[in-house]
Structure 1
């Protein structure tokens, strides 16, 4: 049973970098392959590749991923961090609602996608894909424990979208890359603007300021809902865009804050220039990540993420970062920036859609709400 202890609430995280005290690490147990649906067209990598598999993941693949997730949990425990794990869940069950059906669900490897801590508040995202509609369930028992333990903890659940056919652009996946390039400034992707849609992993916390990436998994209605919900509580919500990313999904492989004044950036996905100004006007340094060790072609055959999972690091404190074991160029950069770098093998988790940051949900950091952008000119919610 969780108990409240003193000045810091049991749920307390205002940014991505302050000293980590408690975290949830995901699990591959029961994981299934992502089904094809209007918001997702998974493909096997490689020329002449076989059709994408269906149903439960092979036991050996689950075991390999769980071994590396356990390794991350052990490393965090050795750093004095309390580690919690999601409850078991049968992802092989189909999803059926009045508006849609999905043949199976996905996994609980990436809690970051669905759950986020905003100060002393737990927020459950809507999610954008049918197979992930009930992905909050493995974390619900933990949420109740935190909520029951401390009256300072609040809990907000975003409105569930219908995920009906009309919520998606059915022809999006057939657009040639040239059309994607021509329309890149429109920020129109596979999800329409008619319903509130967002994944929590499209959000990044900077004290009182929250960045939200408009993407394939977060639309403008979702950002508008976040602004109206969070700004009365003292947050400032900033939409951000990375126009050269033709299939944007989740900000933590593109724009990763490491400590106050420093962001690790993706050299192939620069932030829109007018949005970069928020950082340059406030003295922040944006440093490009080196090219990953793996190319996109080298990624695991069932991985739907890009080579830039290399950037998906987890900050233990403003001076200490966990990096994937084989990403030596990134480790060298982090060393040069003054960080202590811890490493852990994590390649076998990649096919589940994430790396170290994706596979965790930070519950408590030793932090307070700070204003890191005093020079920002801000327009409140409308």
Structure 2
């Protein structure tokens, strides 16, 4: 197997650079990206890996089922179109997912789901690591086939350049035994007692990970252990990526009782700078890697909208405020209402591009979630030279 790293005067860089698929971190100058679509979106069903609830509704109020309303889809699509226009005005090529009927049920020998979800958040299922596209196995039944709206694009990229690598991670069974019985009924006190064991709604028996639990730092891939990524999933990523020269580094946020996706908790903005969540600090000791390599960890300000004020069907926390999209090492797109975060970014010498995105929140994410960057200028760098990490041989 070819090792994609070589040593140059500027430090460690990766050899395998594709002119079609090339993205090694979250901040290099952006050239091509996929932006999600709300077309055909459905409400997410209740299942062992997910128990959606209406905010501020009386206990026992059933969560809606079936397709989202035309008005809700139009509102979200209008904001997604605004993001597309901004990106294109900055010279970025924007691609969109193919149409998909999310009202279709899912049935396998191991499970059934009444309907699928949506294609608003490509970040959850697709990730570019250098010249490789990885399709995540996903953690929820309703999202089992969520890769399909992106399959035409993947084939296009794969056919355009022989250096493009395409990997689909093994699909888990999603059978009842893959999920932890009773998890959703644990009281908060029990969650607090269990917070250092990092056992959530998925068990450790099968490979499970969502792509949005990963953050790319060049040679290093930081992965959150969460409700949507288990230790078996992290082990698969280590075995797959470390022989290619990457270092896969698990991280943990013990005060987050429902962790799902790292991009509202630990967000790299440029080399040497990470936006952190003051409510969800790293597990003690895990910050040492960053501090030893001169990274600054800066807490995000309190969001402008509290958890109780988020859209009623949104299952994410108020910390979607942190879900920004970098289009260059000093250019960041931020949700329009998040003035305190915008002010912080200005002070950190970023050019900030505010866009309205509140109507997208109920579809599971914000600006970073709603995108999948395919190509950025640059190559793989080693941003953690002071490290005793020993990857797999």
TM-score range, shorter chain: over 0.9
SS class of match (1:274): coil
Q: CA deviation at 1:8?
A: 4.7
Residue 381 of structure 1 deviates from its aligned partner by 3.7
Structure 2 spans left out of the alignment, 5+ residues: 1-16
Please tell me whether residue 191 in structure 1 is matched to residue 193 in structure 2.
no
Deviation digits for residues 83-132 of structure 1 (CA, Å, limit 9, x no counterpart): 00000000000000000000000000000000000000000000000000
Deviation at 1:275, TM superposition (A): 1.1
Q: Does 1:332 align with 2:360?
A: no
> Aligned equivalents of 1:273 and 1:367: distance in 2?
33
Per the alignment, residue 168 of structure 1 pairs with 179
- The normalised TM-score by structure 2 is 0.95
Distance in 2 between residues matched to 1:227 and 1:71, nearest whole Å: 37
Q: Distance in 2 between matches of 1:100 and 1:94?
A: 11
Query: Pick from 243, 256, 268: which aligns with 1:232?
Result: 243
Alignment of 1:1-382 (within 5 A): 8-48=18-58, 50-381=61-392
Shift of 1:299: 0.3
Query: Structure 1 residue 380: deviation in Å?
Result: 2.1
1:362 is displaced (CA, Å) by: 0.1
Aligned-partner Cα distance in 1 for 2:101–2:158: 25
Structure 2 counterpart of 1:3: none
Give distance in 1, aligned partners of 2:290 and 2:371: 26
Corresponding pairs, count: 376
Is the 8 Å Cα contact of residues 9 and 153 (structure 1) preserved in structure 2?
A: no
Superposed displacement of residue 273, structure 1: 2.0
Cα-to-partner distance string for 1:297-327 (whole Å, 9 max, x where unaligned): 0000000000000000000000100000000
Name the CA distance, whole Å, in 1 between partners of 2:285 and 2:106: 41
Deviations 1:255-275 (A, max 9, x none): 000000000000000011211
1:379 shift after superposition: 3.0
Would you say the 8 A contact 1:102–1:131 is kept in 2?
yes
Distance, in Å, in 2 between the alignment partners of 1:257 and 1:277 is 16
Structure 1 unaligned spans of 5+: 1-6
Describe the SS at the equivalent of 1:321. strand
